[in-house]
A and B are shown apart, each in its own frame.
Chain A
Amino acid sequence: MSSVAMEQQQKIHPHKFTLWVAIGSLVMMFAGLTSAYIVKRNQANWQTFDLPVLFWYSTGVIVLSSVTIFLATRAFRERAMLKYRRLLAATLVLGVLFIALQALGFQQLWAKGITLQKNVSFSFLYVIVGLHAAHVLGGVIALLLLFAKAFSSKKRIYNLVPIELAGTYWHFVDVLWIYLLIFLMMIR
């Protein structure tokens, strides 16, 4: 058994690997949506739109949250638990702020007459950005669980894997947002 365990130790942790495959799967979903977007764009009846300024702020927020979660992971590794908790809390707050900014951005768009039903291009914008926000929300819930665990007095196991998983996922939604933002700016 020990030899088997040894060999398995050298490989990437199965859960991390699973997460990477899951990310591949999510990428396919957004690839499906964005390619549908490109196909539709080349057909008649497509209206262009300007993204709300708030999306820029939200981009800043999510990039910052990536930094905080990176630092949180490092703090955890160094067993600096207080720092870890603070950085985790900061990430959590930034995540919620991101979702709030996206919602406000939607509100601005709506007020400008860019409504969900008016044109296919607008519908796509809402669906793609909304679906991304839903994924961030999923990340926020994962962070909440981690956060609760960091304060529970029951278990004191220094298991790095959960925070690393959360970090990887968080960076993924961050990169995904940047991709989507560039995509929506370049291809309108």
Chain B
Amino acid sequence: MSVATLHHADVHGAHDTHHEHHHHETFITKYVFSQDHKMIAKQFLITGIIWAFIGGLFSVLFRLQLGYPESTFPWLEDIFGHWAAGGKLKPEFYYALVTMHGTILVFFVLTAGLSGTFANFLIPLQVGARDMASPMLNMLSYWFFFLASIIMFCSLFVQTGPASGGWTIYPPLSALGDASSGSKIGMDLWLVSMAMFIVSSLLGGLNYISTILNMRTKGMSMTRMPLTVWALFFTAVLGVLSFPVLLSGAILLLFDRNLGTSFYLSDIVVAGKILPNEGGSAILFQHLFWFLGHPEVYIILLPAMGMSSEIISVNSRKPIFGYMAMVGSMFAIAILAFLVWAHHMFVTGLNPFLGSVFVLLTLLIAVPSAIKVFNWLTTLWKGSIRFTPGMLFAIGFVSLFISGGLTGIFLGNSALDVHLHDTYFVVAHFHIVMGVASFFGMFAGVYHWFPKMFGRYLNNTMAYIHFWVTIVGAYLIFWPMHYEGLAGMPRRYFDYSNWESFKQFASLNQFISFVAMIVFAVQLLFVFNFFYSIFKGRKVTSLNPWGSNTLEWTTPLRPGHGNWPGEIPEVHRGPYDYGKDGNEFIPQTTPVGEHESHH
């Protein structure tokens, strides 16, 4: 395999004859087993959108239960059969939906769909490379993701139901088929799917790192790279270093499940059976899981940060304020991401001293985050702001990042976490800061780069409706959840009506569910806009519709495999010379003038 690829890549590197290959391309090599990074990006994006639809639909279903616990919906039984007997979800199925919602959105949408799409699409275009370091591995990365998707999708239909132990799959619940029906075959499929997914992320990540470090065009020094590329670089590094640890944790779990080992199991009596396992530690899994799990949060968030930085700068017609500080803060976040995992485990009986170290390191993350926020604000200050749909979503990202980031200060402080842990406060926190905010970053990216991807624009009116309903809806859904959390209302409950302490929130839950359905419907509008515009959108007529400095806009309207028909342009300056010396923008390819001011 590698041999064939190498030969192929060498030919590409040595001669500049890509575009001549084009007439050899068949439908299969162009659209299915494509090695063109742009096509692979689109494959990731479209698969991600399909998953987002499924994951979002699941959330609507379980919100239906939470909002209307007394009602029955006969059509549910028509669709889900015995899982919704009598028109009411079974708790087992509810938890399966919750688990799948988390798994799908965290891994398949906001990891693969987000960085898979934009790392593939933007890295070669923005650093000035004809393709990834290894197009073959890149293609494999997508197909492993596809395989993982298929396996996960199949797990939805097994007799005993898909995994239902939460996306964090804590053993022993996930290890014992007797403890939960979702921990039977569904869990094995989950683990196998995740192993495929990890391979996919690693293959992708390796490529992104090598491409960024090795394939930059002439003049594209590291400090001239757009922040998007920097963000995707740190994302890839985080992924490459943390996913293998999850894999090792998952392998041990597979052994415990199927081969009778006791890595995570000890002293267990389940379903009336005394298990022979002794000496394992369930907490060990949590360490291994969160060693990935926490960097994973930044794997999701950093690309959104990078893209928002880029889009805010372009549309404010101003340089991003403090480029080096932005890079430095992302670097700091990436480092700290590896040192804070145990803040998810303050109530597991963690050694208090160890806990205090993690408190300190966790709250340290607020410093680079604050730098980023203030730098974004200063970028907007005295700008000349154009509210393209991409820009609106980028501003929305900043707003959500502030709101969700600040509640992280509550949860990172162990004394408060003891009260707030696993309540709706946490649900509100991570949905705002990592769920919705990252989605906003992703939407911003899609609206901004859609013209480059498909040579057409998305419809603006639908885009504006999408933005306004989504941001108002997101706040309406998640803001009140903080209050539920402050009342100690636990997350992952099927029904609160028997709880004296929590049943007072019934009407609020109903309201949240109602808004959630509207927001979901508006996402369908986006999906429609997306697919409609690929074929029927307004055509792009100018090479650089946003007046942007970066290299992707120097390619033809619909770049072929190889990106630039002629030579790859040379870079002479940083990516953010907007409004400098009275010029509205100065592309990176413009040589530095003699009398140009220095900053």
| A-chain residues with CB within 8 Å of residue B263 when the two chains form the complex | 36, 40, 120, 123-124
Give A26's nearest chain B residue, CB to CB.
Answer: B244
List 11 interface pairs A-B (beta carbons < 8 Å), by A numbering.
Answer: A5-B13, A11-B214, A28-B245, A29-B248, A36-B287, A43-B279, A45-B278, A120-B280, A123-B261, A155-B7, A162-B2
Chain A residues engaging chain B, CB cutoff 8 angstroms: 1, 3-5, 7-8, 11-12, 14-15, 17-18, 21-22, 24-26, 28-33, 36, 39-40, 43-46, 116-117, 119-120, 123-124, 127, 131, 142, 145-146, 149, 155, 157, 159, 161-162, 165
Contacting pair A116 B260 (CB below 8 A): yes
Q: How far is the CA of A4 from the CA of B287 in the complex (A)?
A: 45
Candidates A7, A21, A43, A165; contact of B210 at CB < 8 Å: A21
- Further 7 A-B residue pairs, CB within 8 A, beyond A43-B281, A120-B279: A18-B210, A24-B240, A39-B284, A117-B261, A124-B263, A127-B252, A161-B10
> Is B202 engaged at the interface, CB distance under 8 Å to the other chain?
yes
> Is B133 engaged at the interface, CB distance under 8 Å to the other chain?
yes
The verdict on A25 contacting B244 (CB below 8 Å), with A15-B6, A159-B6, A165-B2 known, is: yes
Contacting pair A21 B9 (CB below 8 A): no
Candidates A1, A117, A149; contact of B3 at CB < 8 Å: A149
Q: How far is the CA of A172 from the CA of B257 in the complex (A)?
A: 31
> Is B594 engaged at the interface, CB distance under 8 Å to the other chain?
no
| A-chain residues with CB within 8 Å of residue B137 when the two chains form the complex | 18
| A-chain residues with CB within 8 Å of residue B269 when the two chains form the complex | none
B219-257 vs A, Cβ < 8 Å mask (1 yes, 0 no): 000000000000000000000111111011101100100
Within 8 A of A (CB), among B421-450: none
Give A161's nearest chain B residue, CB to CB.
Answer: B6
| A-chain residues with CB within 8 Å of residue B244 when the two chains form the complex | 25-26, 28-29, 32
Question: How many of chain B's residues touch chain A, expressed as a range?
Answer: 35 or more
> Is B45 engaged at the interface, CB distance under 8 Å to the other chain?
no
Contacting pair B214 A8 (CB below 8 A): yes
Chain B proximity of A173: nearest CB distance (Å): 15
Chain A proximity of B403: nearest CB distance (Å): 33
| A-chain residues with CB within 8 Å of residue B10 when the two chains form the complex | 159, 161
Q: How far is the CA of A39 from the CA of B263 in the complex (A)?
A: 11
| B-chain residues with CB within 8 Å of residue A1 when the two chains form the complex | 16, 567-568
Q: How far is the CA of A33 from the CA of B217 in the complex (A)?
A: 39
Candidates A15, A43, A119, A145; contact of B134 at CB < 8 Å: A15
| A-chain residues with CB within 8 Å of residue B568 when the two chains form the complex | 1, 4
> Is B262 engaged at the interface, CB distance under 8 Å to the other chain?
yes
Contacting pair B261 A8 (CB below 8 A): no
| B-chain residues with CB within 8 Å of residue A36 when the two chains form the complex | 248-249, 252, 263, 284, 287-288
Within 8 A of A (CB), among B287-312: 287-288, 291
| A-chain residues with CB within 8 Å of residue B5 when the two chains form the complex | 15
| A-chain residues with CB within 8 Å of residue B2 when the two chains form the complex | 15, 142, 145, 162, 165
